[in-house]
């Protein structure tokens, strides 16, 4: 609780507080010649001007009242592309999608639960090292903790999910020399993930910006601490593999160099952007479901670059390897608890490992890859109906030039990883693996000016349908592919599907929606159609967006299709192979 006195005389401001609660005491002294609302306007214009000078180009604003000073500053900046998004959760994921370009978006909301609705995207950005500057407007200190409307505790709201947070208080002229430094510090920390700047504003909220503080050109510096253990003894083994996942931060040229030295196969998932490299294996999930192959090709050394793939079979196989060296990735990557060392790829290259050079190890892997991929392609082409794995393969092979692909973190990313082939290259929000904001993330990527294609299930689409609000009025090319299996398809692959009675499984896991996907898109003014063949999907993918295409599917049939594909790979390798997942993430 805060007990205080507020006095405004001759356009000057004096605030005194007695504090009984979690909030810090702050003494504010105004300027007798400058109205407080003008100081706030100048403060916001200074921050925005500094961010634009540092490279900011886009701001995503969820409308509200308390955020007025900053919203006006953003709207007045000629260097800012202002995107108004009515739903805060969607707005935050749009900002995340923008941040995938490497430049943080500015994300603004009013006070109260609006800031809480940013939370899922902030968590994802934090776990995936996506740049973002979160601007949460707040009440001044005298209105905090006293029951004022639309006021929650926003100080350090996002906890450890942000790289940095500040609550500078209501701006005063006495601190104007610090404003640009505040903006620069926020920008610096935001290069490696989200930051929060909690901005308290006092009514009146509309002011006129005055002369801005002078700018000192000081390049922002981000202090980084990268672990680099010594290359472990016994690292240089014939039977080695290089796993490449998303969010690694490692140049592909270095991965190519390690492959050239060692002749180890590269097992690359679609999030790595590495499937076009020589020596890449794209069918590892299908290969490892073949028990004899998995046993015969167990590696002695694994180099994992970036985040793990989605395949449970790959994770279980890696857990059996005696040595795992982790390279790059957001945070600590050690899901199996068996990482031997955390090294930089430069260190591994300096060790000049010979790996499997001069042995048939790589040739065996590449032969299996050829057989498995041919079996998958032939099986998909034999099915006249457009099934879910075929959607993944068709989208990967038909993606327009310079287009980006975003996929949901449930079945779409798995189908792309398992059956998408060498052309599969995508982003998925795999930091927290949530269902949230997939379409909004893709929309954020589209706002950069590139074509953005997104593949989601009907459940993820319905969860983020507000991304379509105002989409027809935005200048962007967003192409939405919805696989409509009326519920949560991934659960049909889990033990729950066999262990529970059908009605109980449907109630708790299948969760049929009964949503008219095409009708819902049309209600938002988005052109939508249903297609049922690969040829029609390819044709639709060539058309500029925004549009939505619905592809009907059946959850039970989808399980059978996956079993059929795995059976085809098993026969190609020789011997049986089963299809079952052991987890939902």
349-366: average pLDDT: 97
The reported pLDDT for the residue numbered 294 is: 96
pLDDT of residue 5: 36
Which position has the higher pLDDT, 517 or 504? 517
Residue 136 burial by Cβ neighbours in a 10 Å radius (0-12, 13-18, 19+): buried
Rounded CA gap, 9 and 254, in Å? 65
| Residue written as token pair 């003494």 | 27
| 55: nearest Cα among 171, 194, 168, 188 | 188
3-state secondary structure of 300: coil
Alpha-carbon span 126 to 124, nearest angstrom: 5
Q: What is the pLDDT of residues 181-239, one digit of tens each?
A: 999 999 999 999 999 999 999 999 999 999 999 988 766 665 566 789 999 999 999 99
Residue with tokens 């262990």: 499
Mean pLDDT computed over 535-561: 95
Q: What is the pLDDT of residue 575?
A: 62
Measured between alpha carbons, how far is 375 from 75 in angstroms, rounded to an integer? 55
Q: How confident is the model at residue 271 (pLDDT cuts 50, 70, 90)?
A: very high
332/575: higher pLDDT:
332
* 12-26, 150-164, 485-499, 569-583: least confident range: 12-26
* Mean of per-residue pLDDT scores for the chain: 90
Question: How many residues are recorded in the chain?
Answer: 585
Region of residue 226 (phi > 0: left; psi between -120 and 50: alpha; otherwise: beta): beta
Going by pLDDT thresholds of 50, 70 and 90, the confidence category of residue 335 is confident
Provide, rounded to the nearest whole percent, the portion of the chain with pLDDT above 70.
Answer: 91
Q: Is the pLDDT of residue 88 over 60?
A: yes
Q: With bands split at pLDDT 50, 70 and 90, how would you rate the model's confidence at 430?
A: very high
Please report the pLDDT score of residue 48 as a whole number.
Answer: 98
Task: State in words which class domain 240-353 has.
Answer: alpha beta
Which CATH superfamily groups domain 35-200?
A: Thiamin diphosphate (ThDP)-binding fold, Pyr/PP domains (3.40.50.970)
- Tally of CB atoms within 10 A around 504: 12
Query: Is the pLDDT assigned to residue 8 strictly greater than 70?
Result: no
Burial of residue 498 (number of CB atoms within 10 Å: 0-12, 13-18, 19+): exposed
Are residues 464 and 439 in contact, defined by beta-carbon separation less than 8 angstroms? yes
According to the model, what pLDDT value does residue 11 have? 33
144's CB contacts (< 8 A; 6+ apart) are 2, 23, 138, 151, 153
Please, are residues 196 and 202 in contact by the beta-carbon 8 Å criterion?
no
Per-residue confidence (pLDDT) for residue 164, from 0 to 100: 97
Q: Would you say 1 and 146 are in contact if contact means Cβ atoms under 8 Å apart? A: yes
pLDDT confidence of 24, banded at 50, 70, 90? Answer: very low
Task: Spell out the long-range contacts of 562-567 with Cβ–Cβ below 8 A and sequence spacing 24 or more.
Answer: 562/389, 562/493, 564/379, 565/286, 565/375, 565/376, 565/379, 565/380, 565/389, 565/419, 566/286, 566/289
Q: Please state which CATH class domain 383-553 belongs to.
A: alpha beta
Predicted model pTM: 0.90
Q: Are 373 and 421 in contact (CB under 8 A)?
A: yes
Q: How far apart are CA 123 and CA 110, in angstroms?
A: 19
Percent composition of the chain: helix, strand, coil (DSSP 3-state, to 5): 40, 15, 45
86 Rama class: left (phi>0) / alpha (psi -120 to 50) / beta = alpha
pLDDT score of 102: 95
DSSP class of 401: T
Report, as an integer, the average pLDDT of 345-364: 97
Closest to 121 in 3D by CA, of 112, 110, 134:
134
What's the CA gap between 181 and 183, in Å, rounded?
A: 5
Separation of CA 273 from chain center: 15
pLDDT of 576 above 70? no
Confidence of residue 444 (pLDDT cuts 50, 70, 90): very high
Residue 293: both structure tokens together:
């192959």
Residue ranges covered by each domain of the chain:
35-200, 240-353, 383-553
pLDDT digits (tens, 9 = 90+) for 384-417: 789 999 999 999 999 998 999 999 998 999 999 9
pLDDT of 1 strictly over 60: no
Fold match between domain 240-353 and domain 383-553: yes
Token output for 373: 């991929």
Q: Provide DSSP, 303-365.
A: EEESS--S-HHHHHHHTT-SEEEEE--SS---TTS-EEEE--HHHHHHT---TTTTSSHHHHH
50-72 pLDDT tens trace:
999 999 999 999 999 999 999 99
Give the separation between CA 408 and CA 435, rounded to whole angstroms. Answer: 7
> How far, in Å, CA of 253 to CA of 454, rounded?
28
pLDDT band at 26 (very low <50, low <70, confident <90, very high): very low
What are the structure tokens assigned to 182, written together? Answer: 């505040």
Confidence of residue 12 (pLDDT cuts 50, 70, 90): very low
């Amino acid at each position: 609780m805060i007990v205080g006195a507020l006095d405004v005389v001759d356009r000057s401001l004096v605030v005194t507080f007695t504090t009984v609660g979690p909030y810090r005491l702050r003494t504010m002294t105004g300027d007798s010649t400058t109205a407080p609302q003008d100081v706030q306007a100048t403060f916001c214009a200074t921050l925005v001007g500094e961010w634009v000078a540092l490279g900011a180009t886009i701001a995503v604003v969820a409308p509200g009242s308390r955020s007025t000073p900053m919203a006006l500053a953003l709207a007045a900046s000629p260097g800012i592309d202002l995107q108004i998004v009515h739903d805060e959760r969607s707005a935050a994921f749009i900002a995340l999608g923008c941040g995938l370009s490497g430049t943080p978006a500015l994300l603004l909301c009013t006070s109260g639960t609006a800031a809480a609705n940013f939370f899922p995207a902030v968590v994802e950005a934090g776990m995936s090292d996506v740049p973002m500057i979160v601007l949460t407007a707040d009440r001044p200190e005298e209105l905090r903790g006293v029951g004022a409307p639309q006021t929650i505790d926003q100080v350090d709201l996002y906890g450890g999910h942000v790289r940095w947070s500040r609550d500078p208080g209501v701006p005063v002229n006495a601190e104007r020399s610090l404003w640009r430094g505040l903006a620069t510090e926020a920008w610096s920390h935001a290069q490696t993930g989200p930051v929060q700047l909690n901005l308290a504003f006092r009514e009146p909220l509309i002011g006129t910006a005055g002369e801005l503080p002078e700018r000192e050109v000081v390049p922002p510096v981000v202090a980084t601490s990268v672990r680099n253990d010594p290359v472990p003894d016994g690292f240089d083994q014939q039977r080695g593999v290089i796993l490449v996942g998303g969010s690694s931060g490692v140049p592909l040229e270095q991965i190519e160099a390690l492959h050239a030295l060692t002749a180890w196969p590269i097992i690359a998932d679609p999030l790595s952007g590495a499937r076009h490299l020589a020596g890449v294996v794209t069918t590892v999930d299908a290969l490892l479901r073949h028990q004899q192959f998995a046993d015969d090709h167990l590696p002695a050394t694994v180099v994992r670059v970036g985040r793990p793939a989605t395949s449970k079979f790959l994770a279980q196989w890696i857990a059996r390897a005696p040595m795992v060296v982790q390279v790059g990735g957001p945070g600590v990557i050690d899901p199996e608890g068996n990482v031997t060392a955390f090294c930089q790829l430069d260190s591994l290259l300096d060790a000049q490992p010979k790996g499997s050079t001069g042995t048939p190890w790589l040739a065996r892997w590449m032969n299996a890859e050829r057989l498995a991929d041919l079996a998958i392609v032939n099986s998909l082409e034999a099915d006249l109906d457009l099934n879910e794995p075929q959607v993944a393969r068709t989208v990967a092979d038909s993606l327009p030039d310079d287009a980006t692909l975003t996929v949901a973190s449930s079945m779409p990313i798995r189908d792309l990883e398992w059956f998408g082939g060498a052309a599969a290259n995508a982003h998925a929000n795999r930091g927290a693996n949530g269902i949230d904001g997939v379409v909004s993330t893709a929309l954020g990527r589209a706002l950069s000016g590139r074509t953005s294609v997104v593949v989601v299930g009907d459940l993820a689409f319905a969860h983020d349908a507000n991304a379509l609000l105002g989409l027809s009025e935005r200048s962007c090319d967003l192409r939405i592919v919805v696989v409509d299996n009326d519920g949560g398809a991934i659960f049909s692959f889990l033990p729950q599907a066999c262990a529970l009675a059908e009605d109980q499984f449907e109630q708790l896991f299948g969760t049929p929606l009964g949503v008219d996907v095409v009708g819902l898109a049309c209600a938002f003014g988005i052109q939508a159609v249903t297609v049922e063949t690969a040829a029609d999907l390819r044709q639709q993918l060539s058309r500029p967006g925004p549009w939505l295409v619905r592809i009907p599917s059946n959850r039970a049939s989808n399980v059978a299709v996956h079993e059929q594909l795995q059976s085809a790979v098993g026969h190609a390798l020789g011997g049986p192979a089963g299809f079952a997942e052991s987890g939902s993430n």
